[in-house]
Structure 1
Amino acid sequence: MPETPETTTTSGASIRLENLTKVYPGSASPAVDNVNLEVKAGEIVILVGPSGCGKSTCLKMINRLIEPSSGRIRIGDEDVTDMDPVKLRRTIGYAIQASGLFPHMTVAQNIALVPKMLGWSKTKVKNRVEEMLDLVGLDPGEFHGRYPRQLSGGQQQRVGVARALAADPPVLLMDEPFGAVDPITRDHLQDELIRLQHELHKTICFVTHDFDEAIKIGDRIAVLRERSHIAQFDTPEAILTNPADDFVSGFVGAGAALKRLNLTRVRDVGVVDFPTASMDDPLESIFERLRSGPHNDLLLLDHNGRPYKWLRRGDLSLAKESLARAGTLVADTVTRDATLRDALEAVLTDNAGRVAVTGRRGEYIGVVDMETLMNNVHELLEADRLEAIEQQHRLRELRARQTQLAQEGLDEGATEGGRA
């Protein structure tokens, strides 16, 4: 849809928590204790920590679903601590686990909820609903009138995100939004969020207990101790390579070098072309392409240009009878926003050692193969090895300097003693 003044998106606004504290009645100690945190406009900050550390409480105080006991909340240049909480929530997007959609409302009615509360015109609401469905990769014509029970878990979460973004808020709060779906759907939803952020530049505060998810999504990560005390607040790469202490190291866990595969996207590496054919092509044309191509197989695309089957030369006899009986269905694909870890997992499950890369609508873009991925893994491991050598070198220099200073101190003391 052409962009109009009504559908222009708003960039993110900064969030500042100043000495934010929550003490529940009857509790001897605060659930959240004196938290100071700044989320820059347009970035994704992840709150991660053990169960019960107060990360969700901290998040819910931003939109005042939980009222702080003390401290201030600033969004942009405005102190919202004493603002009408209902009005505040209408200016902040909120997405939770299991989508939180109203079951008696259609998809369109769920997405339109806040815009209608804000008094938007019917035309503006209608256009916004269609825009939001398209934005999260759902066909407006197909999903507009469905009810939540008629959607898969992943589709429900997409609608939940669309509803949170419908009124074009500068700030989006997400409380473990992908925690209730299967791992494959979760990966795709994470990719979708990353893609959306490239387009919208919202300020997102995201709670998760999954450190791998934090690495994949976050611009910065706040690792929280008990009562939401901040153990480390830094970029994913800095936390992986230089955890502040043993507590943070426990969250990083083993295999930090492999976890760094979550920092690199498929779009950052070489996506190569691969022979393709369409189901709409004449059979003889498909056979000729398969016989004369540089590979022993080709990728068959469906009517919408999406990866459908891998066809091998050995499948030719079956294909002559029917394409339906020939080839192997594409088991998995990755998007350009998928991480190298996602791609590696997909490649390892494919006998040929590659995975198809798709665009926003699932259309074929190219493939990533094992060779490309392994080259990147080796580069990461080599970078870690060189960094470890450099750290050892700096440590030796520091110890040598400390020894030199100590010796100089001893010499000076001996000189002074001699004079005495």
Structure 2
Amino acid sequence: MVTNDAPITGATIELENLTKRYPGNPNPSVDSVSMEIGAGETVILVGPSGCGKSTTLRMINRLIEPSSGRIRINGEDVTDIDPVKLRRRIGYAIQSSGLFPHLTVAENIAQVPRMIGWGKQRIKDRVEEMLDLVGLDPREFHDRYPRRLSGGQQQRVGVARALAADPPVLLMDEPFGAVDPITRDHLQDELIRLQHELHKTIVFVTHDFDEAIKLGDRIAVLREQSHIAQFDTPEAILTNPADDFVSGFVGAGAALKRLNLTRVRDVGIVDFPAVTVDEPLQDLFDRFRSGGSNEILLLDRRSRPYKWLRRGDLMRARGSLARAGALVSHTVSADATLRDALEAVLTDNGGRVAITGRRGEYVGVVDMETLLNSVHELLEADRLTALEHREELAELQESQQHQRSALEGGPGGGAADGAGGEHP
């Protein structure tokens, strides 16, 4: 993820020979895993079903007790401390949110702060702060029960609850696996934005390699028993997988997968003529006449993209914008990836997509030309990287050939002894 100047509030995590054995099973479920995770880093554990990635994650907060090995958080060995106290210091988000159905949204978020002794006013302020942080209006969601929330809203509340006590570490076990693909993309973007602001240490389990590329600073590709096949940056894994096992996870289209490494906010977001629904029709006509654009973006009363308006649409409006223009069907956030933006542009016939901020407010537009230029740059970078690798391989092979020739022709070598040596 791209970082900013916000302070890092995460903690280092060290796993040392972490192992889990279950009675009756001759082989360990997790076998001697060692890993160092930096403060403020997002590390993704990805691997086949049953490889032990969730078990490894849950040993960090000791929901599963290790059979052997050590866990250090900010240098402190937490293997032998009270596991309940440890879990209150570590945020935990799971699939399907795990909210208590009989508690309101506010009561769910307040659970850990209340258990560790925060005062009522501090808890109240924190609940409102966390709802705002995850993009939910406190006035609207404070007193709702989980059953009155969509799947995506429940997951947002789950993340808010996990972060409520301001833990340095956040563990996430396939938290977005039970929602639809569109909601999942939005939740991923939200997590990217949150991490951009908070810089927690996040350990995230998924079976989806595309999700791993999109979210991770580094990815640990795990074999059976959580043996690490490769632990590296997404870019390094995409361009230079360690072996066939890792290549199988990368799959086809590595160059296109690299579109998940660049955020929309890092490319050319441009201004686009925009007006609100309250603006008189005559002012819209004037905007079209004075500007060079044939299209204007209509915003709702909360400054969110609402409709794309063309000149001809106003002629058919007959005094009301309700009948004019085409509804904005797709938007992406500034923290979305170029792949998300490209998919949205290709789905829309206009060759552009509106970019939104944390509350869905309009911030600009990215067009097809900008996205295609970025794709071409990535493909060219891949071509140059592949060329460099071929040159390095050729140099290595040439060096090895020279070494073999020297050994065969040098003192004590077989060729010299057999061909030119005198027999006693």
TM-score normalized by the length of structure 2: 0.95
Superposition deviation, residue 391 in structure 1: 1.4
Superposition deviation, residue 416 in structure 1: 4.9
CA distance in 2, matches of 1:10, 1:221: 20
Instruction: Encode CA deviations 1:71-124: one digit per residue, 9 max, x unaligned.
Output: 111111211111111111111100000100000000000000010001110011
Query: Sequence identity of aligned pairs in percent?
Result: 77
Q: State the aligned residue count.
A: 413
Q: Any residues of structure 2 matched to 1:125-274 within 5 Å, and which?
A: 125-274=123-272
Give the counterpart letter for 2:109 in structure 1: I
CA distance in 1, matches of 2:337, 2:210: 11
More moved, 312-321 vs 172-181: 312-321
Superposition deviation, residue 322 in structure 1: 1.5
More moved, 270-279 vs 44-53: 270-279
What is the aligned partner in structure 2 of residue 298 from structure 1? 296
CA distance in 1, matches of 2:404, 2:259: 43
Superposition deviation, residue 346 in structure 1: 0.3
Asked whether the equivalents of residues 111 and 129 of structure 1 are also in contact (C-alpha less than 8 Å), the reply is: yes
CA distance in 1, matches of 2:323, 2:177: 37
Asked whether the equivalents of residues 152 and 187 of structure 2 are also in contact (C-alpha less than 8 Å), the reply is: yes
CA distance in 2, matches of 1:284, 1:148: 46
CA distance in 2, matches of 1:397, 1:173: 44
Give the counterpart letter for 1:326 in structure 2: A
The yes-or-no answer on 1:322 pairing with 2:320 is yes
What is the aligned partner in structure 2 of residue 310 from structure 1? 308
The yes-or-no answer on 1:97 pairing with 2:105 is no
| SS of corresponding position for 2:18 | strand
Instruction: Encode CA deviations 1:261-304: one digit per residue, 9 max, x unaligned.
Output: 00000111101111111111111101221344322211001111
Q: 2:284 aligns with which of 275, 283, 286?
A: 286
Superposition deviation, residue 410 in structure 1: 2.5
CA distance in 2, matches of 1:85, 1:389: 51
**RMSD of Structure 2 on Structure 1 (CA):** 1.4
Superposition deviation, residue 388 in structure 1: 1.3
Asked whether the equivalents of residues 9 and 168 of structure 1 are also in contact (C-alpha less than 8 Å), the reply is: no
CA distance in 2, matches of 1:398, 1:19: 35
Asked whether the equivalents of residues 103 and 148 of structure 1 are also in contact (C-alpha less than 8 Å), the reply is: yes
CA distance in 1, matches of 2:404, 2:21: 49
CA distance in 1, matches of 2:135, 2:168: 21
- The 3 A distance-change label for structure 1 pair 10 and 384 is closer
Instruction: Encode CA deviations 1:22-75: one digit per residue, 9 max, x unaligned.
Output: 111111211111111111111000000000001001101111111111111111
What is the aligned partner in structure 2 of residue 349 from structure 1? 347
CA distance in 2, matches of 1:47, 1:398: 33
Asked whether the equivalents of residues 10 and 170 of structure 1 are also in contact (C-alpha less than 8 Å), the reply is: no
Q: Which runs of 4+ in 1 moved over 3 A?
A: 413-417
Superposition deviation, residue 210 in structure 1: 0.4
Instruction: Encode CA deviations 1:334-393: one digit per residue, 9 max, x unaligned.
Output: 111100000000000110111001111111111000000000101111111111122112
What is the aligned partner in structure 2 of residue 57 from structure 1? 55
Give the counterpart letter for 1:405 in structure 2: Q
CA distance in 1, matches of 2:239, 2:389: 11
What is the aligned partner in structure 1 of residue 38 from structure 2? 40
CA distance in 2, matches of 1:9, 1:92: 19
What is the aligned partner in structure 1 of residue 3 from structure 2? none
Give the counterpart letter for 1:118 in structure 2: I
Q: Any residues of structure 2 matched to 1:60-71 within 5 Å, and which?
A: 60-71=58-69
The yes-or-no answer on 1:113 pairing with 2:111 is yes
Superposition deviation, residue 399 in structure 1: 1.6
Asked whether the equivalents of residues 126 and 164 of structure 2 are also in contact (C-alpha less than 8 Å), the reply is: yes
CA distance in 1, matches of 2:115, 2:15: 28
CA distance in 1, matches of 2:331, 2:43: 27
- The 3 A distance-change label for structure 1 pair 380 and 10 is closer
CA distance in 1, matches of 2:31, 2:88: 27
Superposition deviation, residue 211 in structure 1: 0.4
CA distance in 1, matches of 2:75, 2:293: 59
Asked whether the equivalents of residues 7 and 199 of structure 2 are also in contact (C-alpha less than 8 Å), the reply is: no
Give the counterpart letter for 1:367 in structure 2: V
Asked whether the equivalents of residues 106 and 142 of structure 2 are also in contact (C-alpha less than 8 Å), the reply is: yes
Asked whether the equivalents of residues 10 and 168 of structure 1 are also in contact (C-alpha less than 8 Å), the reply is: no
Asked whether the equivalents of residues 16 and 73 of structure 1 are also in contact (C-alpha less than 8 Å), the reply is: yes
Asked whether the equivalents of residues 265 and 336 of structure 1 are also in contact (C-alpha less than 8 Å), the reply is: yes
CA distance in 1, matches of 2:158, 2:179: 13
Asked whether the equivalents of residues 277 and 299 of structure 2 are also in contact (C-alpha less than 8 Å), the reply is: yes
Give the counterpart letter for 2:358 in structure 1: R
Asked whether the equivalents of residues 8 and 40 of structure 2 are also in contact (C-alpha less than 8 Å), the reply is: no
Superposition deviation, residue 419 in structure 1: 4.3
Asked whether the equivalents of residues 291 and 313 of structure 1 are also in contact (C-alpha less than 8 Å), the reply is: no
Give the counterpart letter for 2:283 in structure 1: S
Give the counterpart letter for 1:355 in structure 2: V
The yes-or-no answer on 1:391 pairing with 2:396 is no
What is the aligned partner in structure 2 of residue 373 from structure 1? 371
Superposition deviation, residue 9 in structure 1: 9.0
CA distance in 1, matches of 2:242, 2:416: 42
Instruction: Encode CA deviations 1:224-268: one digit per residue, 9 max, x unaligned.
Output: 000100000000000000100000000000000000000000111
